[in-house]
Amino acid sequence: MVYFMHPTAAGASTNDAMRFYNESSSVRFAILTGGGNKRFKMKRVSIEQILSGDTIAILSRASEGSCALLDPHDISRTPCLLTEERPLDQAMVRRMSRLLLDDDSWWYVMKQCLPKPTALMTLGSADGWATLRIGMPCSEWRLETDAERQWGFFDPVAGQVREVLKATFPEYASAHAKSLWKAGAISALRAARSR
């Protein structure tokens, strides 16, 4: 189950709150607003409070998918593909759908980094499709269906998402577990695209 943190009466500072957030493995959602001293109260959140029933149904029935890499230096609304879309096998489709449907995968927190476009995935079936934009290194995702648009951070499952991306594009994958791509791989893709 996920917890949603929100400020209440006077108590810990915002810095203390962020420290508490970082040190508490049970906390998944943290929205910190305003300045000054704040105290935090916990509230449980389920996936039904994050995603609509239509989106949950699409992800639950997803049997196909694809993935393309994005130009991390292009922040326009229209995604700039660095690669052709590659099909995801059914195991990867199920894995990504399961992660998106797990309320513990979704985090909302203030971060001091800007996500860079990394990958564009589609997941779905004849019943409907979902588009997922992934941004690293901030571990941010944006999910869109005909029913809604949702975004959040996926820190608790960042390693699993990284594994799916690296398995889909093994020729660019870093050998280091916590790194995504080989040094120079994205620059080479950008240079090839601009020729």
Q: Which two tokens stand for residue 49?
A: 């409070």
| Distance separating alpha carbons of residues 70 and 117, to the nearest angstrom | 6
Which domains does the chain possess?
Answer: 46-194 (3.30.1490.410)
Q: Residue 193's pLDDT is what?
A: 86
pTM to 2 decimals? 0.78
pLDDT tens string 45-56? 899 999 999 999
| Distance separating alpha carbons of residues 3 and 143, to the nearest angstrom | 21
Instruction: Tell me the average pLDDT across 30-50.
Output: 57
Instruction: Tell me the average pLDDT across 6-27.
Output: 36
Please identify which residue in the block is written with the tokens 């029913």: 147
Q: Residue 195's pLDDT is what?
A: 74
Cis amide prior to 137 (ω within 30 degrees): yes
Residue 2 pLDDT > 50: no
Q: Which amino acid is at 118?
A: T
Q: Residue 43's pLDDT is what?
A: 53
How many other CB atoms are there within 10 angstroms of residue 68's CB atom?
Answer: 17
CA dihedral 120, 112, 157, 188 (to 10 degrees): 40
Q: Residue 12's pLDDT is what?
A: 37
pLDDT tens string 107-157? 988 888 888 999 999 999 998 999 999 999 999 999 999 989 999 999 999
| Higher per-residue confidence, 179 vs 40 | 179
157: left (phi over 0), alpha (psi -120 to 50) or beta: alpha
Q: Residue 44's pLDDT is what?
A: 57
| Distance separating alpha carbons of residues 180 and 160, to the nearest angstrom | 11
Rounded to the nearest 5°, which phi and psi values hold at 31? -110, 115
Q: Residue 138's pLDDT is what?
A: 94
Residue 36 pLDDT > 90: no
pLDDT tens string 66-115? 999 999 999 788 889 999 999 999 999 999 999 999 999 999 888 888 88
Q: Residue 1's pLDDT is what?
A: 39
- Give which of 108, 139, 138 is closest to 31, Cα–Cα: 108
| Higher per-residue confidence, 120 vs 43 | 120
